[in-house]
Structure 1
Amino acid sequence: MTRLSRVVARLGLRYPGGPALEEERHATWLELFFDLVFVLALSGVTARLTDDQPAAGEIGAAIGIYLLVQWAWVGQAYFDTRFDADDTLHRLITLVATAGAGIIALGVERAPHGVLLPVGYLVVRGALLLMYLRVAASDRSAREVAAVYEIGFGTGWLLWFGSLALPEGTRPVLWIVALAIEMATPWLGRRWLNRHPVHTTHLPERLGQFIIILLGAELASLREAVPLSQPPGRALAAAGIAILVPIAIWWIYTTFVTSGLPVRRLGNGQAYGYLHSPAGASTLFIGWGLGQLVRSIAEGHHTVPLTLRLVYGGSLVGWMLVGTGLQWFTVGHLEPRRQLISAVGVPGMAVLTATITDPELLLGLTAALLTGYAALVSPQITRLTQRL
């Protein structure tokens, strides 16, 4: 027994062993509770964009904070899919991480001002590092995985801690470096992580649940855009059209996830997870764009600002491209029909959002195009599943 193992045993931290890969697994109630706090954090990301013409720096900051929030969640998801023991100690440590996520949610809108965001991230990551330490000390076969994350995420944790000593204006520099190190960690450690595959049903389900959270944020953006007292009919009509967009996203994504395609080449799950970063960001900022369009229509505006069109259109195009990329990754190729759908749909969406400035026309046409895209792509996924 190593010195670390003896210390862990003495402290009562021994890891009792995690779930077997062949077991049928779904998200636990604790994981779903953990998700709830991230709903608050994600709503704070788009709340930073207070009008329909945010500066480039504001957009960049919102994207960066989204990645931070998402990566905080993803780190826990990958641990749980491999090692969730679901014992009392694991639950207590996860609840500490949940409290840290709550602190992140409180600090998202004001960052980099204040210490809530970095302190919350330190708590979330510190809890995860303790979980990996517990696994490394008790399960010899899992030490390679634990070492990859302890080194990479531990380095990021130290940079986050060091940022507290810097002036508020310069902290984001260290945050960006720390986040880059953490995001690169699974790729740099893929040689060792490949020996420890993730659970083929649990991980796709968890990443899918994060997309559902983001779709909920889209709906919240629409709700906030409609005036509370005596909403004009055009606002209600616009919201009714806008809701077709998250419905189309949900339709395509759930068809894909429930098809079983993600398990074909999942492996260590890193490529699949990386693709969900732009997918999630696109989903979140589509919601912000929809809210701004509905608000613009409710207030009687006749022109959509260029910045809003760029963010909204770029997010729609990004989501369509990532969806195509996910299908290519899981199958290894794209059938000619699927290539044709993307070759027409993606440029078509880009042209619409780049050229149309009337808010009602832009909303109606983009909702119609994405709905039609979903009506073509979803049956194609179903047919592909039946043939494989």
Structure 2
Amino acid sequence: MSESPETVPAFRVPWRRSMVARDPGQSHRASTPLELLFDLCFVVAISQAAAQLAHGVEADHIGSALLGYAMVFFAIWWAWMNFTWFASAYDTDDVPYRLLTLVQMAGVLVLAAGVPAALTEYDFTVATIGYAIMRVPMVLQWLRAAREHPAGRACALRYAGGIAVVQVLWLVRLALPHPLDYIAFGVLVLAEIAVPVFAESRGATTWHPEHIAERYGLLTLIVLGECVLGTTIAFQSGITEAGLSIDLIMLAIGGLLLIFGLWWTYFLGGDDAGLVSMRVALTWGYGHYLVFAAIAALGAGLEVAVLASEHQAHLPLAVAGLAVAVPVAVFMIVISQLRQFTWPAGSLSHGLVTAMAVLVLGCGALAEVIGIGSAVLAMGVVLGALLAVYLRRAARR
């Protein structure tokens, strides 16, 4: 019986093994150390995107900042997601696989280096080059799977061909004048999303539900960590320049409650049990773009709130409050909608989630009246109250 990559000691990892499909029913299928290292490379890119969003919002350039953030975050998320699903089905953990993953990690760092120019100057040249560096190894991985796993050859070739064609079009997009480059961006996003649908239409890959749920949970933790890091740096700056104030204390408590509340909400568990078909898996997986983007945007919003509290941001307090409230509301609404597909019927109260979102947005809008610290603290209390009500109802069921 052959050993799975997780059970092979490091000194016995072979130069090369056949890239065959992993067992989707394998027990204790956990993330590998290589996958964890790959995730950590995305910390830099996500941090850059959130920081640039915060700078744009605090300068009151909200529309352009949000547009740039949405565009850059798509590239970050999509490259991560493609690697994650491929690894769930074909992770051989041999030398060629590791080296191709190393090239993808280099692409992540190049993409991260291009984030500031993309968000402030709308120059996507470096970001696109970094994206291409990530995508070429992905094509090679799929071609290897097609060659070494005959049963999945048709699906793997569709993946390789689709990714390659769309990547060439991303490079062509750099030569388009404005606003055609923006129109092309939207078209290419739809093309990227269509590739897995097209590839999996005949003969799906053998992804592992528990592994996929764990991988998404780990990236959620990384993005939440970015929230903590960005907010901590902002607090350090605020305390150094103006001293510790009541407003900052309330903001810190409220921010911690929000981050902890989002963590608790996401890790209620049970998503993997509902990933029973490719249609459900794609819907759940694609919807996480908004989940991850909202969490990272919360970190940017908390940074803006700290600057607004110390009168260092050029925007009304209500806008700063909404910079925190909107990501929280988006996260809660999206995650509740996604769990319609993965949780048993009747597990969720969408009316309760909607009421919470309205209350959180109301708290943000009232920041001009009650102060930004009080507003963020009130949001944290509202989210905590929602969790308490849900847990109480779940216990009764």
Task: Give the TM-score category using the shorter length.
Answer: 0.7 to 0.9
Partner of 1:220: 229
CA displacement at 1:328 relative to structure 2: 1.2
Partner of 1:371: 384
1:348 aligns to 2:359 (yes or no): yes
CA RMSD of aligned residues (A): 2.7
Map 1:182-221 onto structure 2 (within 5 A): 182-192=192-202, 195-221=204-230
Residue 66 of structure 2 aligns with an amino acid whose one-letter code is I
1:325 aligns to 2:337 (yes or no): yes
In 1, Cα distance between equivalents of 2:23 and 2:354: 42
1:17 aligns to 2:20 (yes or no): yes
Residue 370 of structure 1 aligns with an amino acid whose one-letter code is L
Map 1:169-318 onto structure 2 (within 5 A): 171-192=181-202, 195-228=204-237, 229=240, 231-234=243-246, 235-256=248-269, 260-268=270-278, 269-299=281-311, 304-318=316-330
1:80 aligns to 2:61 (yes or no): no
Partner of 2:10: none
* Aligned positions, number: 368
Unaligned runs of 5+ in 1: 1-11
Residue 146 of structure 2 aligns with an amino acid whose one-letter code is A
Question: CA contact under 8 A between 1:198 and 1:267: conserved in structure 2?
Answer: no
1:359 aligns to 2:334 (yes or no): no
Go from structure 1 to structure 2 and tell me whether the alpha carbon gap of 1:209 and 1:383 turns closer, same or farther (over 3 Å shift).
Answer: farther
Unaligned runs of 5+ in 2: 1-14
TM-score, scaled to structure 1 = 0.86
CA displacement at 1:263 relative to structure 2: 2.1
CA displacement at 1:171 relative to structure 2: 4.5
After superposing the two structures, state which structure 1 stretch, 102-111 or 12-21, moved more: 12-21
Go from structure 1 to structure 2 and tell me whether the alpha carbon gap of 1:136 and 1:302 turns closer, same or farther (over 3 Å shift).
Answer: closer
Partner of 1:41: 45
Map 1:2-151 onto structure 2 (within 5 A): 15-23=18-26, 24-49=28-53, 50=55, 51-52=57-58, 53-111=60-118, 112-113=122-123, 115-151=125-161
CA displacement at 1:350 relative to structure 2: 3.0
After superposing the two structures, state which structure 1 stretch, 262-271 or 313-322, moved more: 262-271
Question: CA contact under 8 A between 1:197 and 1:267: conserved in structure 2?
Answer: no
In 1, Cα distance between equivalents of 2:170 and 2:315: 42
What are the Cα deviations for residues 326-382 of structure 1, in whole angstroms up to 9, with x where unaligned?
2211125234x7244224323322333334423122111111111222233356567
TM-score, scaled to structure 2 = 0.84
Residue 70 of structure 1 aligns with an amino acid whose one-letter code is W
